[in-house]
A and B are shown apart, each in its own frame.
Chain A
């Protein structure tokens, strides 16, 4: 029975450790000198270098957040901000150094690319090592580049959009940190009315211990376009802390639709302090699909700013916290225009002392006549030593609205397990089936390969307690 559900249960594929070979890396910690070094090495225009230095100032002026997860053990001064692998970016897997290629092969990336993707970017530590897009998309004017290349090829677009009007370094301490030492990431531009049927993917892999990854993703879906973007992240397990502070800026123009899916499986020594935001214009649609499994501590609240009439957002997330993990995730829905609508479905699972926290903001501004919003949170407790908290904030400044929030927490009921066991399942199988059913709403909104991945991760996580 187990075998038919998920083919292989092999944690090792996430845990491949390669020898760390780098062409360049900065000293540990953070300083003006380090920031200047990164910028210089990347041969960036002056404005970007100034922007980095300004961000560093902001970073230094802001206090550590005192809410969310406990960050007192995170020591930025022991983290290497920038580490460049000893390879240049390639457009063919054959040219990618063997050990790195092997890692991505074990993670299934090249294979997925062949089968199910329109384009792939693969980042290894601080730099993108592989990038490629299908010809037909390039012909339609779709741009899919790694961020450093984009900065050189499309300086005007990048200068206009890069942390200026979406996420800014002033937003919070880790957005400022990102602004100072960002490296790698992806730039996507989908021209008007172009529909990218097959997803684009970026995969972020941290290999070296004690480093940080700070990739920047910028996607512009122009009027009437459609695109689906998938982001995957993982890293092998080390004793020292890694830090991931990425930033995702999405622009969804009038009538466009963007689906942004993330399967995050950072190793359990990673601090994942990520910022994601979408600005959505008239009749635009943003859909966030988010699976958070890894990391030691996570703070992540994808934000949708519904600023055009009729704009829509959906957030579907599953968070799974096991031993030693504190995953503080949620969503922010900001309704600024009439007839905007949003829907949140959050599922969380806590086991082995893991802590999940749904933290959300739903704000209906005074101009959001006729706004509709619903938030639904469900927490599943696998045992009695774990924790599941829910902390939504709802602010309504308009009467013509229809909003609802619902949350519940509980465990798998004995009756359910009993029922399944009378049908011949073992207790473990019954539990795992119930958990799969629990995350089904998320699984079903993912492309098949990723749904399998999600189930595999859940299986892995459950094995610990149940197996």
Chain B
């Protein structure tokens, strides 16, 4: 079934669904149809086509049968009580753009609900793979991750493709009081793909979310991760690596809103740009009034490997509370020539030395990935892209 993203398609999609899903899609469609396609100044969307609606049946979830874990297809989950959580999350301001965010709500064709029950300790990482697979080349995923009180879990998303695909997703992470959540997102779609991703994290008291973003693929790539630190003493640690090669454009946005006292955040982005690639880093660290004793940190370091790259950074810091510590920094430049010399004195060629320096910058993040094979395959992938 190939259909344009219009009202008829919505009608068809909701024919057999429950009232919750209907409401979600119809509301999403209302906004989607009203807002125009955005015109971005920094990353051009000219090469992005608004896709047709297609089914997507290639989603795979692993390790979903564990004690204390409840997983479901998102459509099923909406019939349960997950809808409330989703709706409260959707009221927040997040996402790359209203058009893309609401496209997901109206036309999602895949997605999971993943819930860790109270006090459960989910040992194995739950792996969700969305790969472009034959005709399944349009991934519009809606994911809802709920960590109930004092639970622990790791969820790893892997978006990959060998050929052109379109991905636009929305992920809601709700970390309730005292929970610990680890999210990993890996994006290695092919060089002619488009990738959009809208993410929101909401934390309860003393909850902690670690998010690792590995952003390597796609021709046009835009994502946003927004963290609402609402619970006292809660924290979000967002670590990211990105690599731009060929004519890729990456537009990366991180927003951390410190709302409650003693919240803590760290956004740490490391990137490398090669060929004619381009990256935009947007960091918004917002210390709201009342977030007493909060600590926020945001840093970006970009290695520039070719003359023809372009790197923009807008690391904004907003502060309406005096009893806080907030820092941000951004830097860009070539690899330190003394370090290159040191490595070459040990026999490495200049290209090998550069690759090693990029790896050096990425390793602290790659080392935290939850599986050996994943670490290896990411390192290989990066090596091939830089040498190739």
A and B touch in the complex (CB under 8 A): yes
List chain A positions with a Cβ less than 8 A from chain B: 366, 379, 381-411
- Contact across chains for A405 and B329 when beta carbons are under 8 A apart: yes
Query: Complex formed: what's the CA distance from A387 to B286 in Å?
Result: 11
- Contact across chains for A399 and B321 when beta carbons are under 8 A apart: no
Asked if B326 CB lies within 8 Å of chain A CBs, one says yes
Instruction: Give every chain A residue within 8 A of B327 (Cβ-Cβ).
Output: 406-408
- Contact across chains for B324 and A410 when beta carbons are under 8 A apart: yes
Asked if B124 CB lies within 8 Å of chain A CBs, one says no
Q: Which of B318, B322, B326, B330 contacts A386 (CB 8 A)?
A: B322
Instruction: Give every chain B residue within 8 A of A395 (Cβ-Cβ).
Output: 310-312
Among B305, B306, B315, B317, max chain A CB count under 10 A is at: B317
Instruction: Kindly supply a per-residue 1/0 record for chain B positions 301-328, scoring 1 wherever the CB is within 8 Å of any chain A CB and 0 otherwise.
Output: 0001111111111111111111111111
Q: A383-B322, A396-B332, A404-B331 are in contact. Are A390 and B309 (CB under 8 A)?
A: no
Instruction: Give every chain A residue within 8 A of B332 (Cβ-Cβ).
Output: 394, 396, 401, 403
Q: Which of B310, B315, B326 contacts A410 (CB 8 A)?
A: B326
Query: Complex formed: what's the CA distance from A350 to B333 in Å?
Result: 33
Query: Complex formed: what's the CA distance from A410 to B287 in Å?
Result: 10
**Closest partner residue, chain A, to B324 (CB atom):** A410
Instruction: Give every chain B residue within 8 A of A400 (Cβ-Cβ).
Output: 307, 334
> Please, could you name 7 A-B residue pairs with CB atoms under 8 Å apart, sorted by A?
A381-B321, A386-B322, A394-B312, A403-B332, A404-B330, A407-B329, A409-B326
Q: A399-B304, A400-B307 are in contact. Are A388 and B328 (CB under 8 A)?
A: no
Q: Which of B305, B313, B317, B321 contacts A394 (CB 8 A)?
A: B313
Q: Which of A387, A390, A393, A411 contacts B323 (CB 8 A)?
A: A411
Query: Complex formed: what's the CA distance from A136 to B306 in Å?
Result: 54
**Closest partner residue, chain A, to B311 (CB atom):** A396
Query: Complex formed: what's the CA distance from A381 to B312 in Å?
Result: 28
5 cross-chain pairs, A with B, having the tightest CB-CB distances, nearest first: A381-B322, A399-B304, A411-B322, A404-B331, A390-B317
Instruction: Give every chain A residue within 8 A of B385 (Cβ-Cβ).
Output: none
**Closest partner residue, chain A, to B301 (CB atom):** A404
Asked if B379 CB lies within 8 Å of chain A CBs, one says no
CB distance from B93 to the nearest CB of A (A): 17
Instruction: Give every chain B residue within 8 A of A409 (Cβ-Cβ).
Output: 287, 317, 319, 324, 326
Query: Complex formed: what's the CA distance from A385 to B186 in Å?
Result: 41
- Contact across chains for A394 and B330 when beta carbons are under 8 A apart: yes
CB distance from B154 to the nearest CB of A (A): 33
Interface size on B, residues (CB 8 A): 33
Among A389, A399, A401, A404, max chain B CB count under 10 A is at: A399
Query: Complex formed: what's the CA distance from A398 to B273 in Å?
Result: 11
Asked if B289 CB lies within 8 Å of chain A CBs, one says yes
Query: Complex formed: what's the CA distance from A390 to B328 in Å?
Result: 10
CB distance from B333 to the nearest CB of A (A): 5
Q: A399-B307, A407-B329 are in contact. Are A384 and B312 (CB under 8 A)?
A: no
- Contact across chains for B307 and A387 when beta carbons are under 8 A apart: no
Instruction: Give every chain A residue within 8 A of B313 (Cβ-Cβ).
Output: 392-394, 405
CB distance from A320 to the nearest CB of B (A): 15
Please classify the interface of chain B as helix (H, G, I), strand (E, B), loop, or mixed, using the class held by over half of its residues.
Answer: strand
Q: Which of A381, A401, A404 contacts B319 (CB 8 A)?
A: A381
Query: Complex formed: what's the CA distance from A406 to B329 in Å?
Result: 4
- Contact across chains for A393 and B333 when beta carbons are under 8 A apart: no
CB distance from B261 to the nearest CB of A (A): 12
Query: Complex formed: what's the CA distance from A381 to B289 in Å?
Result: 12
Instruction: Give every chain B residue within 8 A of A410 (Cβ-Cβ).
Output: 322, 324-326
CB distance from A7 to the nearest CB of B (A): 30
CB distance from A372 to the nearest CB of B (A): 9
CB distance from A335 to the nearest CB of B (A): 13
Query: Complex formed: what's the CA distance from A403 to B316 in Å?
Result: 17
Instruction: Give every chain A residue within 8 A of B317 (Cβ-Cβ).
Output: 379, 389-391, 407-409
- Contact across chains for A408 and B331 when beta carbons are under 8 A apart: no
- Contact across chains for B328 and A406 when beta carbons are under 8 A apart: yes
Query: Complex formed: what's the CA distance from A384 to B288 in Å?
Result: 10
- Other than A392-B316, A396-B312, give 17 A-B pairs with Cβ distance below 8 A: A381-B319, A384-B289, A390-B316, A390-B318, A391-B314, A392-B315, A393-B314, A396-B304, A396-B332, A398-B304, A400-B334, A402-B333, A403-B333, A406-B328, A407-B329, A410-B322, A410-B325
Q: Which of B287, B315, B325 contacts A407 (CB 8 A)?
A: B315
CB distance from B103 to the nearest CB of A (A): 27
- Contact across chains for A387 and B329 when beta carbons are under 8 A apart: no
Q: A383-B322, A407-B327 are in contact. Are A396 and B316 (CB under 8 A)?
A: no
CB distance from A263 to the nearest CB of B (A): 26
CB distance from A385 to the nearest CB of B (A): 8
CB distance from A341 to the nearest CB of B (A): 13
Q: Which of B316, B330, B333 contacts A401 (CB 8 A)?
A: B333
Query: Complex formed: what's the CA distance from A405 to B330 in Å?
Result: 5
Query: Complex formed: what's the CA distance from A390 to B313 in Å?
Result: 13
- Contact across chains for A404 and B329 when beta carbons are under 8 A apart: yes
**Closest partner residue, chain B, to A391 (CB atom):** B316
List which B347-372 residues lie within 8 A (CB) of chain A: none
Query: Complex formed: what's the CA distance from A384 to B203 in Å?
Result: 24
Query: Complex formed: what's the CA distance from A387 to B321 in Å?
Result: 7
Q: A399-B306, A401-B334 are in contact. Are A394 and B319 (CB under 8 A)?
A: no
Q: A379-B319, A383-B322 are in contact. Are A394 and B314 (CB under 8 A)?
A: yes
Query: Complex formed: what's the CA distance from A405 to B281 in Å?
Result: 13
CB distance from A115 to the nearest CB of B (A): 40
**Closest partner residue, chain A, to B306 (CB atom):** A399
CB distance from A466 to the nearest CB of B (A): 14
List which B45-91 residues lie within 8 A (CB) of chain A: none
- Contact across chains for A399 and B329 when beta carbons are under 8 A apart: no
Query: Complex formed: what's the CA distance from A388 to B315 in Å?
Result: 14
- Contact across chains for B309 and A399 when beta carbons are under 8 A apart: yes
CB distance from A357 to the nearest CB of B (A): 9
**Closest partner residue, chain B, to A382 (CB atom):** B322
- Contact across chains for B322 and A389 when beta carbons are under 8 A apart: no
Query: Complex formed: what's the CA distance from A391 to B308 in Å?
Result: 26
Query: Complex formed: what's the CA distance from A451 to B322 in Å?
Result: 27
- Contact across chains for A389 and B315 when beta carbons are under 8 A apart: no
CB distance from A416 to the nearest CB of B (A): 14
CB distance from A389 to the nearest CB of B (A): 5
Q: Which of A384, A397, A402 contacts B321 (CB 8 A)?
A: A384
Among A381, A388, A394, A408, max chain B CB count under 10 A is at: A394
Query: Complex formed: what's the CA distance from A403 to B306 in Å?
Result: 16
